């Protein structure tokens, strides 16, 4: 193994920082099971292999309370929704698993060597699970959610990715607005398990001191010089400004585009179906029929509901089908028509009842019950096709403030699945009844949903998942390609056994090093519970 002595400026000013091999640099040595026999200068590490479809590790960077976990979870929800299996690996969860009782910010002080060892080991345990997920469990993207504020830590991740054939994309969240930081702490951090038994004032004071512990060693990404070879995006002041560097593939482009469309301003999204249609009364799917008498009553009730909400600059979107347009006309306000919001195309089954489909196309009827998300109607669409069609709608919804979307059952299910983080398997069976408005309010790490019935009777068009339906491969054979299901559990739960296994492996590997490279003894599990005591 070769060590390289480096000197580099910190953010272009201040003292010169240096990296030198020493017993305290245990992090690099503990990584030996992941690394080859040679260590290069951190700034020269590549961002991963040249293979187009290699798995990707998204590395979050930034001080605490800068929205990293918010971005991680929101991005993971989007990627899973479009069919890219993705999971979040939050190092803080690994730390809480290893250290059961948090005492104070002292645990994060850079001179707390015992705690530093534990934090490094937790990061390594998380990386080990990243490797398992991307190499053995069919994952395509792993989001490594931690501060990663030093070049040493980021270099470790780059070498880990290189040795395992993974691409790396960095997302750094920079926020210098004290109001935004304070709001984030109050809304999210004070309710974390770390401050379970603390009052808000003490918790706020402790967390601000925790941030100070990171600030002393924070080395921001430097795309103009030191990190010019890295693929990254800097999100500055909650989307006021972006800096993008070396985007290298399609998925990175989609990630950048998504991040540049989201915002954190308070807003409300209303989803509802059109009023009951004549085809609904007859039990027929698809078509372009007008509203029934009860459907027209609903449109009037919807008008009163919108007026009661007293929303400023509410935008109304509909499909290009008659029943949604008639529903919006009653509102007496401008509305936009989206072809992308049209109902799922049932192909040869358009305007048929389910009984007629079962009689005329019995095989198709069975196939759809076997796998409703992937099943595509002959000459029509599948739910997966519908998700791809609706992606521009999601992007625009993320950009907007208050919006009312008047759409259709399958379309509403797809949109709702995105906001509620539902899997592809759950999506086609979400309940979206007629004459009911769903009020969606984005919150810190998710979305709050309120179901509001406007008390106008309507037929029930929901069809439950058949209990006796058996999955088969025939549905997928109709497709040109097969896309794996998104991760049903988008947040990776830390496994303490993997933590122990990796510490043992790291200790064994470090024992074989020359004496000059030996790190201090690796603490065992009983030590972890005491690591935060000072």
Cα Rg for the chain, rounded, in angstroms? 26
Superfamily of domain 6-12+24-40+55-264+495-528 in CATH is P-loop containing nucleotide triphosphate hydrolases (3.40.50.300)
Please count the other Cβ atoms lying within 10 Å of the Cβ belonging to residue 190.
Answer: 18
CA torsion through residues 394, 400, 401, 405, sign: negative
Distance CA 450, CA 440 (A): 7
Distance CA 286, CA 345 (A): 7
Residue with tokens 């990386």: 127
For 458, the enclosing helix (H) or strand (E) is none
- Residues belonging to the binding site are 273-280, 323
CA-to-CA dists, residue 388 to 89, 384, 407, 420, 481, angstroms: 27, 7, 16, 18, 14
Cβ-based neighbours of 65, under 8 Å, separated by 6 or more = 181, 184, 185, 188, 189, 207, 211
Tokens of 171: 């997302």
Distance CA 303, CA 270 (A): 13
Residue 483's pLDDT is 45
Residue 504's pLDDT is 56
Residue 17's pLDDT is 36
Residue with tokens 């097969």: 482
Q: Which of 125, 151, 147, 154 is nearest to 213 (CA)?
A: 147
- On whether the CB atoms of residues 47 and 154 are closer than 8 A, the answer is no
Residue 191's pLDDT is 82
Is 308 tagged catalytic? no
Is 274 tagged catalytic? yes
Identify the segments of the chain with pLDDT beneath 50. Answer: 1-46, 474-477, 479-485, 495-496, 513-534
Residue 33's pLDDT is 40
Tokens of 219: 């080395």
CATH code: domain 269-477 is 3.40.50.1240
Distance CA 324, CA 408 (A): 8
Torsion of CA 105, 107, 108, 109, to 10 degrees: 90
Give tens-digit pLDDT for 495-513.
Answer: 445 555 555 555 555 555 4
For 184, the enclosing helix (H) or strand (E) is helix 178-187
Q: Which of 95, 76, 39 is nearest to 171 (CA)?
A: 76
Residue 506's pLDDT is 54
Give tens-digit pLDDT for 89-98.
Answer: 999 999 999 9
- On whether the CB atoms of residues 451 and 399 are closer than 8 A, the answer is no
Residue 25's pLDDT is 40
Q: Which of 99, 86, 151 is nearest to 125 (CA)?
A: 99
Q: Quick one: the chain helix, strand, coil %, rounded to 5?
A: 40, 15, 40
Active-site option among 93, 159, 274, 398: 274
Tokens of 492: 């990776």
Distance CA 166, CA 160 (A): 8
Half-sphere exposure (Cβ direction) of 503: Cα atoms closer than 13 Å: 23
Q: Which of 141, 214, 223 is nearest to 484 (CA)?
A: 141
Residue 468's pLDDT is 76
- Residues belonging to the binding site for substrate are 273-280, 323
Domain limits, the chain: 6-12+24-40+55-264+495-528, 269-477
Asked whether this chain's domains 6-12+24-40+55-264+495-528 and 269-477 adopt the same fold, the reply is: yes
Residue 510's pLDDT is 53
Active-site option among 343, 364, 381, 398: 343
Distance CA 518, CA 23 (A): 6
Residue 241's pLDDT is 95
- On whether the CB atoms of residues 503 and 524 are closer than 8 A, the answer is yes
């Amino acid at each position: 193994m070769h060590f390289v002595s480096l000197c580099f400026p910190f953010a272009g000013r201040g003292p010169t920082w240096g990296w030198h091999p020493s017993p305290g640099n245990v992090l690099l040595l503990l990584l030996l099971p992941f690394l080859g026999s040679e260590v290069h200068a951190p700034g020269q590490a590549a961002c991963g292999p040249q293979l187009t479809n290699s798995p990707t590790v998204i590395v979050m960077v930034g001080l605490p309370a800068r929205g990293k976990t918010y971005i991680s979870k929101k991005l993971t929800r989007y990627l899973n929704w479009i069919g890219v299996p993705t999971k979040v690996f939050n190092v803080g969860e690994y730390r809480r698993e290893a250290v059961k009782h948090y005492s104070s910010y002292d645990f994060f002080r850079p001179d707390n060597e015992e705690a530093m060892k534990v934090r490094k080991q937790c990061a390594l345990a998380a990386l080990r699970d990243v490797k398992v997920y991307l190499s053995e469990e069919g994952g395509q993207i792993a989001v490594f959610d931690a501060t990663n504020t030093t070049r040493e830590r980021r270099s470790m991740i780059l070498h880990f990715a290189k040795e395992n054939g993974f691409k790396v994309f960095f997302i750094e969240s920079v926020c210098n607005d004290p109001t935004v930081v304070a709001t984030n702490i109050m809304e999210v951090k004070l309710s974390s398990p770390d401050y379970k038994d603390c009052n808000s004032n003490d918790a706020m004071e402790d967390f601000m001191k925790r941030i100070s512990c990171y600030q002393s060693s924070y080395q921001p990404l430097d795309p103009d010089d030191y990190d010019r070879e890295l693929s990254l995006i800097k999100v500055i002041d909650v989307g006021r400004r972006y800096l993008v560097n070396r985007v290298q593939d399609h998925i990175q482009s989609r990630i950048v585009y998504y991040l540049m469309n989201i915002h954190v301003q308070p807003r409300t999204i209303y989803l509802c179906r059109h009023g009951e249609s004549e085809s609904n009364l007859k039990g027929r799917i698809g078509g372009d029929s007008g509203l029934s008498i009860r459907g027209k009553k609903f449109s009037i009730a919807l008008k009163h509901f919108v007026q009661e909400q007293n929303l400023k600059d509410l935008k109304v979107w509909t499909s290009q089908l008659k029943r949604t347009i008639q529903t919006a006309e009653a509102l007496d306000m401008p509305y936009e028509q989206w072809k992308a919001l049209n109902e799922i195309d049932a192909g040869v089954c358009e305007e048929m009842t389910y009984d007629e489909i079962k009689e005329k196309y019995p095989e198709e009827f069975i196939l759809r019950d076997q796998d409703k998300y992937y099943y595509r109607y002959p000459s029509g669409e599948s739910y997966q096709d519908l998700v791809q069609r609706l992606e521009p709608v999601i992007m625009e919804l993320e950009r907007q403030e208050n919006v009312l979307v008047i759409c259709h059952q399958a379309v509403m299910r797809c949109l709702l699945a995105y906001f509620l983080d539902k899997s592809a398997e759950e999506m086609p069976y979400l309940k979206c009844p007629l004459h009911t408005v769903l009020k969606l309010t984005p919150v810190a790490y998710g979305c709050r949903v309120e179901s509001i019935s406007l008390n106008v009777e309507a037929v029930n068009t929901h069809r439950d998942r058949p209990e006796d339906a058996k999955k088969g491969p025939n549905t997928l054979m109709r497709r040109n390609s097969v896309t794996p299901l998104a991760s049903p559990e988008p947040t990776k739960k830390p496994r303490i056994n993997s933590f122990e296994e990796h510490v043992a492996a790291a200790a064994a590997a470090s024992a074989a090093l020359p004496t000059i490279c030996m790190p201090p003894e690796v603490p065992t599990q009983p030590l972890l519970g005491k690591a935060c005591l000072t």
